[in-house]
Amino acid sequence: MINIQKKIKLDQYTTFKIGGEANFFVAISSLEELMESLAWAKKNKQAILFLGGGSNVLINDKGFRGLVIKNEIKGIKKVKETDSSVYLRALSGEWWSALINYTTANNYYGAENLSLIPGTVGAAPMQNIGAYGVELKDIFAELEAVEIKTRKLKKFKLADCQFAYRQSIFKNKLKNKYFIYSVTLKLSKTPKFKLDYGDIKQILESKKIVKPNIREVVNAIIETRSNKLPNVALLPNAGSFWQNPEISGAQFKKLQKKFPDVKFFKTEEGFKIPAAWLIEHCGFKGKIFGSVSAYEKQPLVLVNLGGARAKDVTALAQKIEGAVWKNFGIKLVREINYIK
């Protein structure tokens, strides 16, 4: 039996520590409780908001007029094994960090570059999480999701999810139409580490590690992320606020001519410019605006210095977006999920 609560403050459930009240709130730990919650919302004509780890979300100051369903459906299980691969099925309310701990402890390779990414397993396919040359799609096998309208469980294979850079079908065409219930990953039994991104290789070399094992690689990635990203327990934030914008070859030539030191990554369709570089060159890195700031080590992250409200964060975001457009003619696209 589910326990529907009333007037629950949502700031305690987000890593930004921002958000008004939910009219109704329920925490679920099973598929049955999900179905019961969906039925309750339909019967009482309430809108639905799903919350996982609350790490990629900014909730408005007025809160949410409807039912917030907090996903706490957990579990990790090996479902299939071959000579070279293993398939792990994780339920969507499981912490992503717990899944990485599991793969590391069992020497299952492929997910290590995604270490220390906050949030739950169910959030991972929503935006095709990625870091240091690896994206979820690279290790993805399938997922199960419940259609909100019919409450039926459906399987989605890799092609069905339409993964792209920080994108999926669940963020676009099927947004708010499905609840992701489980994610199955295909991992390797033999290591094929990607160490050429960030400071991973340098950290390993500084420790005189020539042939690293999976734990050493994970530790190096955790150290790399920790050196650049704020600890949410000390500086509440929602992770990267914007995507890295991609521009055409013609745009890039003009940009590079004007800014010879511009950082970039070549892609199949053009050039990706680090949003952090653009923001820093507009003078926002480490700059404080009342209760919010663009983090001093990584301006892609906006931090709550204490007592910030959603309106404070969006005001700073708009200033940054305006400055980047004015100086570079590049539009920043928000990665964060803003609940208006």
Q: Which two tokens stand for residue 132?
A: 């240091």
Our answer to whether residue 240 is catalytic in this structure is yes
Which listed residue (94, 115, 166, 223) is catalytic? 166
Cα distances from 181 to residues 8, 64, 71, 93, in angstroms, run 24, 23, 9, 8
CA distance 145 to 31: 11
* Rounded distance between C-alpha atoms, residue 151 and residue 167, angstroms: 24
- Asked if 335 is an active-site residue, the reply is yes
Q: Which of 21, 240, 293, 309 is the catalytic position?
A: 240
Number of residues written out for the chain: 340
DSSP conformation class of 109: B
Residues 6+ apart with CB under 8 A from 339: 19, 49, 57, 58, 59, 60, 64
Please report, as a single letter, which amino acid is at residue 170.
F
Amino acid at 127: Q
Q: Six-digit token pair at 108?
A: 């299952």
- Looking at the chain, the number of H-run helices and the number of E-run strands are 8, 20
166 included as an active-site residue:
yes
Please give the backbone phi and psi of residue 9, each rounded to the nearest 5 degrees, phi first: -70, 130
Torsion sign across C-alpha atoms 334, 335, 336, 338: positive
Residues labelled as active-site residues: 166, 240, 335
